[in-house]
Structure 1
């Protein structure tokens, strides 16, 4: 049962202004969303067909009265995947719907869950689009990951008496001052949630400081630690090995790269290649609309490049660099590599999830931008599984040590895997918190 909650006058006034600003900027949003539909051929049809879902024009075959899990993008989908699989297994009588905000998140969700769940975009946060979306979907429970706070969605769920829980919730100490400046709006927005499941003690304390009611707040730890290896990824890794690399190859992966990071890693690679003649690099751009641009960047650097999406031929094992221009292949690259660079960290994007690499016991390097996962980054760094540096020479020096001394690389990688094993259990803790709001009628044991 949801406790009665009446939003403050200030919250309501700001929500109206926010809605008005969204309406005014709708043409720009429309153009940006269309631009991001530049996907590989295998997924472009799906993206264009579902573009209308941004405005709550839902397919006729959608199944209502289930559980909705919203994940902004790829990282949130990865964090929530084991929770989603639990819901699919134990609530098989209910449709499980996964929504995303980004196109890459949508494709990744499709690759992970296939037909086991319904995949849709979350509509633009306008009252009439969200209202229509909730009317059609009629969820019994809405789960929102990490830091997604959509005022109109929260308001419409409250009006329809739909419980909404913020899971794997993150509020860093760096972000807290900004949230505090807008606490007249953020505090009542957060109080719309039935439960807020904090991913760390610091996030718990920060949510409490912001004004989340203590009975709402739970410390469940970070679901990103609850990663498991997948046989499908092993099969993909074997395919990459057979196609692109001979038995002598040492492999460096540049993972989830953003603009500027490919050039950075090319310089690192060229420095290392002077000493390691069998070194190859796999580059995995974060966003598929950059695949063609990254290919040109790598070619312009004077490197021989093979595209993973290209037709198989007998010359595939001659390239310096393999461009992984297919979605859903990153974990396979981690399984195959000797060591890895984690992107979004030289570019000021906050760094992507290093735990996916730790799952395969591989040592890692990152740039200084780590604000997305500061506690995870610090923990891995303290344990010796991750090096954080700023310059090409710093990265090259550390990678050189690991490439020349495999025993040291293995030791660093195993320390990362131990971090995962010591901190798992967040999915189970989250499910315990959600117990009062889960729709248990006819649920499978």
Structure 2
């Protein structure tokens, strides 16, 4: 498949895309809003001439936040245009950059679908001097339209599993030219660098910078807020654990583990945070069937009789992690690939996960080898691990220290990424000469 065939199939598939969008809107009404933006129609007024950063959803938006702040500091004259594809990502972006210091400097809209005319219309309005794509959200037409306009393109914090590489490899006629148009591919590991080169990326454009997720900074105010909240709840000494970013099929396992824990720890509290907001209501009903459950979104004080706190708010995950004694990270008991293990580790929390961590293989391996990660397979092993951590303060302290040591040892990726972006911004793009447009 080449790009022309891909574009034709994309156009032919628009009815299916519309149907999927309608289905998602039925489940999550926010998908019914701002549909025009997905076709580059009715875009908000965008200040042109800045840096465009694309972060597909919540995780990438959070990872991009330190990068955005540093770019704003280094290039005060350049506005930042942040795009995403999901309502949850949009809400997170708007929450992170809601302060007065970002007004007029950070602008946001959905990224239009990967159609040449939509990509061209978006770029005509934004007119970026640099495009930065977070992780591996690769869209051939958006990338090609940037290349046609001489806009340098960087893939930041890039990751590419062996399985994903095999998938891309099946469409070499589309993938290889697309990767060859990228000016910087800042990858997390040497193995991923080799996969990108094998698929067609220009060797000199691939750099191993590490994961910027290790450069996460915890604000002291977050810890003090968590301590104050536990004090307000009268839960300073209450055994508390969190299961975060859970998917369908995991909540039942987590609740079964909590049921086991309550036999030994009658005052135990579970903070359960589903990954997707459209599941909040269903998970609340699931919890309520067997447990006294409080919804965080109601803003009501937690009672001693409450057994589960449902984290059904946006932008509070780090606070909820800080409230817990240990953290299970979801998306890992099912074959979803896991979610960010470093957020609880950065807070000094012992980290637990399921076995499916193919999106975070290197990070998981480092945490595991350091003794900062415990992996579980089912409700019983999850309950046993949490019970052990509550009974063994020395194990908690050992895992806390190990996780923080892994974080510290891997920091610096953000600085390396920024150095690469600076080269692109200042015109150090000699390899771009001779590009086929």
Do the aligned partners of 1:243 and 1:316 also contact (CA within 8 Å) in 2?
no
Indicate yes or no: 2:352 matched with 1:365. yes
1:410 offset after TM fit, Å? 1.7
Cα drift, residue 13 of structure 1: 3.1
Residue 19 (structure 1) aligned with residue 10 (structure 2): yes
* In 1, Cα distance between equivalents of 2:281 and 2:232: 21
* Structure 2 residue 248 is matched with structure 1 residue 259: yes
User: Alignment partner of 1:174: what SS?
Assistant: helix
**Which residue does the alignment assign to 2:385?**
398
Equivalent residue runs for 1:410-421 within 5 Å: 410-421=397-408
Is 1:343–2:330 an aligned residue pair? Answer: yes
1:49-78 superposed Cα distances (whole Å, 9 cap, x missing partner): 534322212445321211011011121122
C-alpha deviations, 1:302-347, integer Å up to 9, x for none?
Answer: 100011111435x634310111111111111221211111010112
State the 1:235 CA deviation: 5.3
Aligned to 2:84: 100
Within the alignment, does 1:197 sit opposite 2:186 as a pair?
Answer: yes
Q: Hey, what does 1:207 align to over in structure 2?
A: 196
Tell me which of 276, 279, 283 is aligned to 2:272: 283
- Distance change (3 Å), C-alpha of 1:130 and 1:37: farther
* Residue of structure 1 in register with 2:74 after alignment: 90
Q: Is the 8 A contact 2:7 2:115 kept in 1?
A: no
Q: Hey, what does 1:50 align to over in structure 2?
A: 34
Shift in CA distance, 105/297, structure 1 to aligned 2, threshold 3 Å: same
Where in structure 1 are there 5+ consecutive unaligned residues?
Answer: 1-9, 39-43, 441-445
Query: d(CA) in 1 for partners of 2:299 and 2:407?
Result: 37
The 1:32–1:133 alpha-carbon spacing in structure 2 relative to 1, beyond 3 Å, is farther
Give the corresponding residue for 1:114.
Answer: 98
Moved more, 275-284 or 113-122: 113-122
Deviation (angstroms), 1:148: 0.8
Pick one of 292, 301, 310 that aligns with 2:281.
292
- Measured against aligned partners, the alpha-carbon deviations of 1:103-138 in whole angstroms (never above 9, x if no partner) come to 211111122222522121111111222111111111
Which SS does the other structure have where 1:351 is aligned?
coil
* Structure 2 Cα separation of the partners of residues 409 and 346 of structure 1: 22
CA distance in 1, matches of 2:417, 2:34: 31
Q: 1:49 to 1:233 in 2, by over 3 A?
A: farther
3-state DSSP class of the match of 2:358? coil
Judge which range, 111-120 or 190-199, deviates more: 111-120
More off after superposition, 177-186 vs 410-419: 177-186
Distance in 1 (CA, whole Å) between partners of 2:33 and 2:165 is 39
Deviates more, 1:168-177 or 1:289-298: 168-177
Relative to structure 1, the CA distance from residue 355 to residue 298 in structure 2 (aligned partners, 3 Å threshold; closer, same or farther) is: same
The residue that corresponds to 2:411 in the other structure is: 424
Q: Which residue of the partner structure matches residue 7 of structure 1? A: none
The normalised TM-score by structure 1 is 0.90
Which of 42, 45, 53 aligns to 1:69? It is: 53
Aligned pair count?
A: 422
Q: CA deviation at 1:158?
A: 1.3
Segment of structure 1 superposing worse, 173-182 or 67-76 = 173-182
2:368 to 381, 387, 400: 381
Deviation for aligned residue 1:416: 0.8
Residue 29 of structure 1 deviates from its aligned partner by 3.8
Say which SS state the counterpart of residue 143 (structure 1) adopts: strand
- Does the CA contact (< 8 Å) of 1:140 and 1:439 recur in 2? no
Answer whether contact 2:322 2:347 (CA < 8 A) is retained. yes
C-alpha distance after superposition, 1:199-238 (max 9, x if no partner)? 1111111112222111111111111111110245335524
Contact 1:157 1:164 in 2 (8 A): yes
Rate the CA distance shift 1:227–1:36 in 2: closer, same or farther, 3 A. Answer: farther
Partner SS for 2:77: coil
> CA separation in 2, counterparts of 1:260 and 1:33?
19
1:5 maps to which residue? none
2:382 and 2:145 map into 1 onto residues whose CA distance is 49
Separation in 2 of the partners of 1:28 and 1:48? 12
Structure 2: distance between partners of 1:236 and 1:109: 22
Corresponding position of 1:274:
263
SS of equivalent to 1:316: coil
Runs of 4+ in 1 over 6 A off after TM superposition: none
- Please give the alpha-carbon distance, in whole angstroms, between the structure 2 residues aligned to 1:85 and 1:32: 36
**Which ranges of structure 2 fall in alignment gaps of 5 or more residues?**
428-437
Question: Residue in 2 aligned with 1:332?
Answer: 319
1:367 Cα deviation from its structure 2 partner: 1.0
